[in-house]
Structure formats: C-alpha cells, structure tokens
Amino acid sequence: MRSEPIHEAYSFVCLRCGHAWEGRYDIRHVRDAQGRLRAEYRVRGGVRVSSPLTDNTCRVCGGRRIRILRPGRVLSARPPLI
C-alpha cells in the first residue's frame, strides 16, 4: 500500500542557540516488508529523510533540543527585508 503524498510544513527552533527554520515535507504512508504501516518523509527533489518530528538537529550548532511550532511562525517573526 502506498498513499498519495500529504504536504506538511513545520517550523522549528533550536532551544540551544535560538536558530529557527521551516521545512516542507511530502509524507506517504507505506507498508514495509513485514506489513507494518509507516510514514515516509521526503523533501524537495524527492530526497527521503527521517521524520523531522522525532529526529532533527540544528544546522547551526548541532543541538538536538528542538521545539516544533505551527507552520509560518518563523517567517512571521522575522523583520521584513529592506
């Protein structure tokens, strides 16, 4: 079984250094070889990645204490570019 992709976006903030970022994912539910249902995450270009909800690391400091926010929270908090 392979479902149609669900498009999801998340905002993240590192609790160690304060760096914030957003990520967009295509999520499909697939059955593995043992018949168990699991989620498969992909980013732009179809590259498969581990779940950002359970395995995420800050790109700036390498911190692993990450808070997940609603999508759009990072961009709405940044000052406009001049």
- Threshold 0.85, pTM exceeds: no
User: Average of pLDDT values for 51-77?
Assistant: 86
Sign of CA dihedral 46, 72, 29, 50: positive
DSSP label at 36?
-
pLDDT of residue 26: 95
List the beta bridge partners of residue 38.
30
> Residue 35: which residues within 8 A CB-CB, separation 6 or more?
none
Residue 49 has which token pair? 């990645």
List the beta bridge partners of residue 69.
11
Q: What is the pLDDT of residues 4-60, one digit of tens each?
A: 888 999 999 999 999 999 999 999 999 888 999 999 999 988 899 999 999 899 999
